[in-house]
Amino acid sequence: MMSENDQVNNHKQSETSDKKASESGTKCDLDLIMDIPLDVSVELGAVKMLVNDLLQLGQGSIIELNKPVTEPLAIYINNKLIARGEVVVVDEKFGVRVTHIVSPFERVKSLG
């Protein structure tokens, strides 16, 4: 029969083994998802249009969006708001500088 001291030592060894397995498992688990492609989109603004107005559009037409220039852009990953940012130009291409990461609380709040 095991002494109480042996039981405590076995329990501590088990916890240490579990922790090491968990840490190495987390690393392996993350490696499995690193190559999964995600859709990233940035919302500059939006507007509702009547079909008649849509049919009047032509080359050179300007569509006025509802978002003020000073308001940050919404950054979505797989259609979920993840961050906010501002427009930048990088090598003659548009880019977005992330200025705010949406907290988990804010993400849950936006659902309801």
Which residues have a Cβ under 8 Å from the Cβ of 80 and sit 6 or more positions away?
107
111: Cα within 13 Å, side-chain hemisphere: 7
pLDDT at 84: 96
What would be the CATH architecture of the domain defined by 37-112?
Roll (2.30)
Tokens of residue 46, six digits: 């939006």
Instruction: Write the pLDDT tens digit of every residue in 7-63.
Output: 445 545 555 555 554 555 566 778 888 899 999 999 999 999 999 999 999 999 999
| Total-model pTM | 0.65
C-alpha pair distances (Å), 80 with each of 36, 53, 64: 16, 30, 25
Q: pLDDT at position 108, please?
A: 80
The string of DSSP codes covering 44-91 is -------HHHHHT--TT-----SS-TTSPEEEEETTEEEEEEEEEEET
Rounded CA-CA distance 84/68 in Å is 14
